Structure 1
Amino acid sequence: MDAGTDELRAAHDGLAEFYVDLLAGALETEPVERAVLSLFCELTVAAGLGASVGDVGCGTGRLAPYLAAHGLSPRGVDLSPEMVRVARRDYPGFAFDVADLRDLPFDDASLAGAVCWYSSLFLPPADRAAAFGELARVVKPGGYLVTAFKAGDGKPQRRGRSVGRGVEFDAFWLSPEEMERRVTDAGFTTVFWGGRPAQEQEATPQGYLLARRTEATTGPNAAAREAK
């Protein structure tokens, strides 16, 4: 594991319980985010490719009940073992595992869709193509990807210190243009994009992108998997 990934994992291990408290009930107060997730759920169910979806970078697991209530069967994965622990504790009816966005534990074209909710913002430039390629690899042609992200200029930022828990990590707030380009290059076609202005203590606007998987691909990590 590289130093940046190790730092990110350790930081989020230390922030897990903090995020449990911070995000409790957050989705109920965000009609825009519910609307985007509901559109993803409706399209995924209508596609008839099954109900299995990956919640990639699931954090505390808070989206799982919402996805399930809208007809999907989510499986959450997160880099942080402590995030996975609290997700399993608080949402015991769902599956959660430790995994890296750049090397997902799903078979090729095995998911009807994938949710990447504020989890791509930790990807440094060199890792973005592989990560979005992994999302494309695991989603069936005709399936859907939905992402939420903090819109910015893509420059690295040191985050974490403001919460007073002795953690720091790099984050990257990507522009809507780069997000759409990454998704398109990986093999998706944009269905919906949108955003909203920053609210209250938010430092940046929030962006949303929903895309449909088009051509089949084995993804950039396929050769490595075949060799295992």
Structure 2
Amino acid sequence: MDASTLELRDAHDVLAGVYREKLATIIDEMPIEQAVLGLFCGWVRDAPGDNVIGDIGCGTGRLAPYLADLGMTPRGVDLSPEMVRVAREDYPDHDFGQADARELPFADGELAGAIGWYSLMYLDPEQRRRAFAELARVIRPGGYLAMAYKQGNDQHRRASRARAFGVDFDIYWLSAAEVESRAAEAGFDVVFWAGRPAGTDELQPQGYLIAQKATAQKATAQKHCGSTKPG
């Protein structure tokens, strides 16, 4: 494990108790996030097959019951073993495990969809590319990816607010163009994007994206079109 990943894991082990205390029901106070998750879950429900989705970077598992109420079967993974321990303790009816977003414990095409809810913003550009490719591997053709992220100019930062708890780690406030380009590069078609201004207790605006993994037929057609010379 590289130094940045180790630092991130250890920091979130420390923060697990804080997240448990402060974020457990925060989704109830966020109608815009409810709307984005509702749209994502509605599209997953309308697609053929089961509704098993990955919650990538699930933290303390706070979204699991909310997603289940929307008809999903969430399977949460997180880099931090302490986050996973808290999630299993607080939400024993749901499935959680420790994993890196760049090496997910799911088979090819196993998931109907996945969410990365403020979880892919800790990765540098190359590692971010690996994570999107891994998401494309585990989501079946026609399945969906939903993301929430801190919006900015893609520059490397340090998580200054975490210093109050004695930890620090890398973070990126991502531009909409960066997120959309990573999704497209991995084989997803963007079907929804949105943003909102920073709230009174936030340092930056928030961004949201939903993308659909191209079906095999569409991917083949795009490949052929891309290889056809004009003239």
- Shorter-chain-normalised TM-score: which range? over 0.9
**Is contact 1:161-1:167 (8 Å) kept?**
no
Tell me, in whole angstroms, the C-alpha distance in 2 between the residues paired with 1:77 and 1:134. 13
> What aligned pairs does 1:42-57 form with structure 2 within 5 A after superposition?
42-57=42-57
**Is contact 1:153-1:175 (8 Å) kept?**
yes
Question: 1:170 and 2:170 equivalent?
Answer: yes
> What aligned pairs does 1:82-161 form with structure 2 within 5 A after superposition?
82-161=82-161
What is the TM-score of this pair, normalised by structure 2?
0.91
Question: 1:15 and 2:12 equivalent?
Answer: no
TM-fit CA distance, 1:162: 4.6
Tell me, in whole angstroms, the C-alpha distance in 2 between the residues paired with 1:25 and 1:160. 24
**Is contact 1:74-1:94 (8 Å) kept?**
yes
Tell me, in whole angstroms, the C-alpha distance in 1 between the residues paired with 2:35 and 2:110. 25
What is the TM-score of this pair, normalised by structure 1?
0.93
Aligned residues: 217
- 1:205 is matched with 205
**Is contact 1:84-1:98 (8 Å) kept?**
yes
| Aligned-partner SS, 1:164 | helix
With over 3 angstroms needed to count, the CA separation of the structure-2 counterparts of 1:110 and 1:162, relative to structure 1, is closer
Tell me, in whole angstroms, the C-alpha distance in 2 between the residues paired with 1:59 and 1:160. 19
User: For each residue in 1:115-148, what CA deviation from the matched residue of structure 2 results, as whole angstroms up to 9, or x when unmatched?
Assistant: 1100011011121111100001000001100000
| Aligned-partner SS, 1:208 | strand
TM-fit CA distance, 1:24: 2.5
**Is contact 2:162-2:168 (8 Å) kept?**
no
TM-fit CA distance, 1:48: 1.8
- 1:40 is matched with 40
Q: Which has the larger radius of gyration?
A: 2
Q: After the TM superposition, which parts of structure 1 deviate over 6 Å for at least 4 consecutive aligned residues?
A: none
TM-fit CA distance, 1:49: 2.3
Tell me, in whole angstroms, the C-alpha distance in 2 between the residues paired with 1:88 and 1:108. 25
Tell me, in whole angstroms, the C-alpha distance in 2 between the residues paired with 1:53 and 1:162. 29
